[in-house]
């Protein structure tokens, strides 16, 4: 499986309705526990952010290839895999965040999903609707809407890169 080293897409900066940053978005806000009976990832998409004030309609606005920009400790809380799979079902290609909950990060990496750690990213000039390019080889993010660059403080580890390139931990083990 060939996976891209550069990801380009429209971004969604996950902030509160008043424009303030939101930290500690937990897995229940991402994918509410009322929907945990859903096991088909394709049926998870409509429930993404269903418990996050101001973001309940995100699944209707999100398009395949979009990129999320989030604050500190995104995905904290329980270990539910649905909180990763719902974004995959929507076609979100990456999440750029200041930091991630440990279990969420491990679940996403094992799924071959690119989580990009960039402290301070939520407080930059990036706005929803702008186009970003993430270069996983150079460990940079570029805002194509106005040319600003943001260095990734935490580039992919060799293990994360191998899992991503394979498509998932299971694919890597084949």
| Polymer length of the chain | 174
**In this structure, is residue 145 part of a structural domain?**
yes
Count of the separate structural domains present in the chain: 1
| pLDDT classification of 58: cutoffs 50, 70, 90 | very high
**The pLDDT of residue 80 is above 80:** yes
**In this structure, is residue 85 part of a structural domain?**
yes
Name the pTM for this structure.
0.94
Q: Beta 131-135 vs 140-143: how paired, if at all?
A: antiparallel
Separation in Å, CA 147 to CA 13, 117, 131, 132, 150: 17, 20, 10, 9, 10
Domain that holds residue 25: 6-173
Segment 116-169, tens digit of pLDDT: 999 999 999 999 999 999 999 888 999 999 999 987 778 888 899 999 988 989
**In this structure, is residue 139 part of a structural domain?**
yes
Segment 2-47, tens digit of pLDDT: 788 999 999 999 999 999 999 999 999 999 998 989 989 889 999 9
Q: What is the CATH number of the domain that holds 143?
A: 3.20.19.10
């Amino acid at each position: 499986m060939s996976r891209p080293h550069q990801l380009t897409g429209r971004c969604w900066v996950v902030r509160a309705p008043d424009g303030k940053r939101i930290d500690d978005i937990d897995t229940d806000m991402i994918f509410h526990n009322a929907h945990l009976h859903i096991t088909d990832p394709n049926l998870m998409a409509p429930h993404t952010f269903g418990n996050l004030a101001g973001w309940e309609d995100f699944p209707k606005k999100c398009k395949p290839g979009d990129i999320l920009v989030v604050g500190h400790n995104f995905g904290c809380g329980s270990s539910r895999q649905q909180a990763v799979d719902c974004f995959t079902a929507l076609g979100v290609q990456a999440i750029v965040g200041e930091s991630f909950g440990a279990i969420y990060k491990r679940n996403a990496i094992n799924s071959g999903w690119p989580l990009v750690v960039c402290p301070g990213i939520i407080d930059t000039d990036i706005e929803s609707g702008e186009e970003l390019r993430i270069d996983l080889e150079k460990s940079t993010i570029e805002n194509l809407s106005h040319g600003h660059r943001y260095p990734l403080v935490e580039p992919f580890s060799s293990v994360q890169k191998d899992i991503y390139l394979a498509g998932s931990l299971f694919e890597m083990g084949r």
